[in-house]
Structure 1
Amino acid sequence: MMNYIKISAACSLLSLAAGCADFLEEDLKSSLAPDNTYTSTLGFEVGSAGLYAIARSEYNTWGESGAFMHNGACAYEVLQISTDICRMGTVRDGSLVPFAELTLNPSTLFVGSYWNWAYNLIASANELLIYSEKNKNWDYPTDKQLYQAEARFFRAYAYRTLVYLYGDVPWVETIQTPFLLSFTRTPKAEVLGHIIDDLEFAKTYLPEDPDAVKEGKLTTWAARHLLSEMYLFRGADGDYRLAEENALDVIGSGHYSLVKARYGKHLDEAGDYFSDMFLENNQNRSAGNTESIWVMQFQYNTVGGGTNSDDWTRRAWNPQYFNIDGFALADSLGGRGLAQIRPLKWWIGVKGTNATTAGEVEGYPEIKEEGIFEEGDIRNSEYSIKRNWYYNNPLTPNKLKQKCPITDDTWDQAQLFPALKKFFFGKEENLQLTGSYKDRTKFRLAETYLLLAEAYLRQNMPDKAADAVNEVRRRARVSDVDAADMDMDFLLDERIRELYGEESRRFTLVRTGTLIDRVKTYNPEARDRIKDFHVLWPIPQAIRDANRDVEFPQNPGYDE
């Protein structure tokens, strides 16, 4: 998936309907157009690559290569802020403040960005599907269904974001000509049904052998992993059993196993097998990663690879250590971070600091040195969470190599706190890099086990849920949990331990119906601000204004 050409017609139907002049201006990148591209298998490969490119722009920020998440901070951050895992940093980026302070409204930047990104991906997928029915020039008889399966996966993936964030949204499966100005909101349950239908198709026709496809390409196992999540989200009769079956299909496929031994391109460096999964060049199967199910490709200095704006999650989580006298920018310290979000102390703990350990806010849970980790948990090792910081600037020799303590002040000022090394990235030749060019694992087997545990909990099988969670915990070198302790709160804590920063935490809490309670319990910044209606975002005002032929209802709580 290294070389891609973005199809020019990848444009949101609903955004187009808004009639925004600059959005409608054509920017012809080449002579490619659907009519002269979708005429052979090669043309559909070009279109497929465009879908992967739009999907990965989910993590973009300033809009290089025409991304849709642009002109603000990393949009990913707003799916973490005002949850139970982090709070906003001291850099009060205007695009993040409404989500941290829960003052978002229908005109808030990222409220529109996620809508536009999703419908751009949907429009491109629909276009490929339409032309696939017209084309008769295939290299192999299976090509048509293969590209349809990829398109339907990406359509489902985009709608997944829409139903999590907005609830009822228009289901669109064709290109509207002329532009439709009378869209209606399709009920969420119906949209979830369409998502599941798309993923069932993708499951059937995507390749089975992950070693027989190019790195980054989808397989049936990615579709089954996402199907498990979507069946859990819908929660209709029989859905939890279907979620269980799809997760078990992935686990029992014989293609994947939890990483339990060191591997990859950094074996000569200190580390452990859990942290190996997050080092540069260690995400793909070719490097020896047996756990990754779907990996977005962002390689550094590679044609078709990432740009400096493609993935800013490194800058989101990494502290501004370089603003402390005695520190200099270093790739070994994660590069140049902004700490636009900071981990909450209740789960990450304050080990190795002299920060306050309890009673920070009245009623706030006790904060332990290890946070929610047991002693010896490999996911809490120094190779995964950096807690010990040493001055590294030779221009301050009186401090060089001495330990710099993490304090309440350094944490509150976003200069030094326990940092998630999953997102460390730096290049010695360019320490000012803002983005991360490291491939990004979207689905991995540990999460499949945790989805299986969720399915068992929903079926009132805490013993089997404990068994699934224990597979992940044993890999982490911690004690087993038994059925008596296995409930949704424990599972949500386990997802933090295993997937901190990887998952879209808002999605997890919305799916499990725990967003309000968990925020009120664990987030001192948002606990007194969050209301029941914040489970959903508002519908972008530009969309409602454009849909002038039919009333387009706003979500409760956001009426102007």
Structure 2
Amino acid sequence: MKKIILILGIIITTFSSCSDFIEEESLSNVPADATYKTTSGFQLLVNTNYAWLKGIYGGDPWLFEAGTDMYAEGRTPEPAGLSQYTLLIPSSTGVEQLYNSCYQAIQAVNKTVYYSTITEQNANVPVLVGEAKFIRAQAYFLLVQTYGGVPIVLDNITSPVLWFERNTAEEVYTQIISDLEASLASVGTSAYGTSGRVNKRAVNDLLAKVYLTRGYETFGTATDFTKAASYADAAIGGQALNLAYDQLFKPGNDLNAETIFSVQYDKNSTSTDPQKLGNNQFYYFSSYLGGSETKGGAPLRSYNLLPTGYALGLYEKGDKRWSATFMNEVYENYYDFFRVADKTNLKVKHFYEPKWFTAADKENYLATAKLATGFVYHPWGEYEAAYTLIKNIDYQTIPVKKFDDPELTTPSSTGPVSTRDIIVARLGETYLVAAEAYLKAGNPATGLDRLNEVRRRAGVANATAAEFNIEYILDERARELVGEYKRWFDLKRTGTLVARASAHNYRIKAANFVGVGGALKILRPIPQSALDLNQNKDFPQNPGY
């Protein structure tokens, strides 16, 4: 592969300002170069590779969730370009966030690979390099899905360079798979819940997703889907979904038996600046809940990325994911749901009626529940994102509770931060990846079995062979993965972004996607900041921009 030279001054300039992450430099007076050549110093360097994932996932999730069929804005505007597409240009707010943070992680890995050949050699060095290459593959996978072909940078850049070229998406996928194959051959097999490090299961899971996604590309082949199914099954490893769904995201249980890979946070490591350190995942997917000025406090919420009517309407009576995902019954003190074991005497402040409620169900609920003063009953159809056009008061839309952080140290009004982990890969999704891969590989019967394992755990009836298609899989992924930073990639991968976003997001029409020259804005634009820093003025922008 030809050598690609990268400018991206962002990598050089922002790499020195990493107060939110584990510090890469030695805390002693030993120079970094000498430190990394020691066993302990090299381990420290690899640890920073993991820390850079916080820059990718820990901030605003616009590039993961905005502008989809499942989430739309409410009282607080989202970045218009990313949420509505009509105003999407290379300099739009948020476009550069993922580009910058992924290349920061890539540069950290490149440094690790460089020092791996000159550090003290031992049996653990290849294992650590394998872990690092997994992280580089993860970053490139996010980049190629979001922006298409991007520069492949494998050198340890130590000073700014003023020229870079663009690789094709096919070349990027080749590099991703190369990194993952090397990682699979070298990483360990220790359970993620005990080691917290990349293992073979995590690599198999990512290989499944990479091959599945590449299979949809013009350069993809049917064998990509076959390989995706095989790798997904290897990641599943025969493990059934036996953990109750409401335990998957129970606070304190983030490293459970079904977590395959996550971005990990520690309360002690954020104590120096609790208003900024941590992540923002819990901050979204709800209307404003009042913050600390409410009785007993409540989570500070953004009032955007609210569940759409489509997302809320996917659940049927008996689906355990409904009550495990949404706070459809809110007590006077919001956090009592987590902090009070015996809820017998707690009073309900808000109730969000499920779509299956009948008049008799409503009557029975109001007659038997303990209702607080000022109790609000939210009828079905009056708490989705679009309803904020009619009413946008506090608590108007249903809160997503699965990411809540009820630690007493979590600020309720001083900043949108949490020290809970962000789960990037988990077993339930791997089953759905396998389902999609088997369907696309021409083996729908096995794919249906994988999907129905997810439904079995949810407590709902099996899907039938007649129902089983890509649309059904997307619906099932929606039910299973609310808020888990997957949706834009799901729609883009399956070629359903325009149709589904325009059908279910009240802010989007199909015409919003039409860009320069009539080309559709499917990929995000290459950030203007990266283009401005590049002296190669022949670097192509994406279609539509």
TM-score range, shorter chain: 0.7 to 0.9
- Given candidates 464, 468, 477, the residue that maps to 1:486 is 468
Give the direction of change, closer, same or farther, for the CA distance of 1:42–1:409 in structure 2 (3 Å limit): closer
Q: Quick check: 2:327–2:399 contact (8 Å CA) kept in 1?
A: yes
| Structure 1 position 386 matched with structure 2 position 327 | yes
Q: Quick check: 1:146–1:206 contact (8 Å CA) kept in 2?
A: yes
Alignment-mate amino acid for residue 207 of structure 2: L
2:74 aligns with 89
Distance between the aligned counterparts of 1:516 and 1:104, measured in 2? Answer: 14
**SS of the counterpart of 1:403?**
strand
Deviation at 1:553, TM superposition (A): 1.1
| TM-score normalised over the length of structure 2 | 0.81
Distance between the aligned counterparts of 1:503 and 1:25, measured in 2? Answer: 26
Deviation at 1:215, TM superposition (A): 4.2
Q: Quick check: 1:91–1:340 contact (8 Å CA) kept in 2?
A: yes
Q: Quick check: 2:251–2:406 contact (8 Å CA) kept in 1?
A: no
| Structure 1 position 127 matched with structure 2 position 114 | no
Q: Quick check: 2:292–2:412 contact (8 Å CA) kept in 1?
A: no
Deviation at 1:312, TM superposition (A): 1.0
Deviation at 1:422, TM superposition (A): 0.8
1:341 aligns with 305
Distance between the aligned counterparts of 2:108 and 2:241, measured in 1? Answer: 35
- CA deviation map 1:98-148 (0-9, x unaligned): 21232122122321221110111111101110111122x23x3x2221111
Q: Quick check: 2:325–2:402 contact (8 Å CA) kept in 1?
A: yes
- Given candidates 54, 57, 60, the residue that maps to 1:56 is 54
Deviation at 1:391, TM superposition (A): 4.5
| TM-score normalised over the length of structure 1 | 0.79
- Given candidates 391, 397, 400, the residue that maps to 2:372 is 400
Distance between the aligned counterparts of 2:54 and 2:17, measured in 1? Answer: 23
**SS of the counterpart of 2:425?**
strand
1:538 aligns with 525
1:187 aligns with 168
Q: Quick check: 1:169–1:185 contact (8 Å CA) kept in 2?
A: yes
- Given candidates 243, 260, 268, the residue that maps to 2:228 is 243
Give the direction of change, closer, same or farther, for the CA distance of 1:551–1:491 in structure 2 (3 Å limit): same
Distance between the aligned counterparts of 2:492 and 2:18, measured in 1? Answer: 38
Deviation at 1:542, TM superposition (A): 2.0
1:160 aligns with 141
Structure 2's unaligned 5+ residue stretches are 20-24, 335-345, 350-370
2:198 aligns with 218
Alignment-mate amino acid for residue 483 of structure 1: A
Give the direction of change, closer, same or farther, for the CA distance of 1:301–1:416 in structure 2 (3 Å limit): farther
| Structure 1 position 101 matched with structure 2 position 84 | yes
Distance between the aligned counterparts of 1:199 and 1:323, measured in 2? Answer: 43
- Given candidates 236, 252, 268, the residue that maps to 1:301 is 268
**SS of the counterpart of 1:539?**
coil
Give identity over the alignment, percent: 29
Task: After TM superposition, list the pairs within 5 Å mapping 1:408-557 onto structure 2.
Answer: 408=382, 411-412=387-388, 413=392, 415-428=395-408, 430-432=411-413, 434-528=416-510, 529-531=512-514, 533-557=520-544
Give the direction of change, closer, same or farther, for the CA distance of 1:302–1:484 in structure 2 (3 Å limit): same
Structure 1's unaligned 5+ residue stretches are 1-11, 62-73, 261-272, 349-370
Distance between the aligned counterparts of 1:402 and 1:423, measured in 2? Answer: 27
Distance between the aligned counterparts of 1:29 and 1:97, measured in 2? Answer: 42
Distance between the aligned counterparts of 1:131 and 1:457, measured in 2? Answer: 43
Q: Quick check: 1:17–1:179 contact (8 Å CA) kept in 2?
A: no
Q: Quick check: 1:449–1:472 contact (8 Å CA) kept in 2?
A: yes
Cα RMSD (Å): 3.1
Distance between the aligned counterparts of 1:58 and 1:216, measured in 2? Answer: 18
Q: Quick check: 1:115–1:162 contact (8 Å CA) kept in 2?
A: yes
Q: Quick check: 1:215–1:295 contact (8 Å CA) kept in 2?
A: no
Give the direction of change, closer, same or farther, for the CA distance of 1:82–1:156 in structure 2 (3 Å limit): same
1:200 aligns with 181
- Given candidates 176, 188, 213, the residue that maps to 1:233 is 213
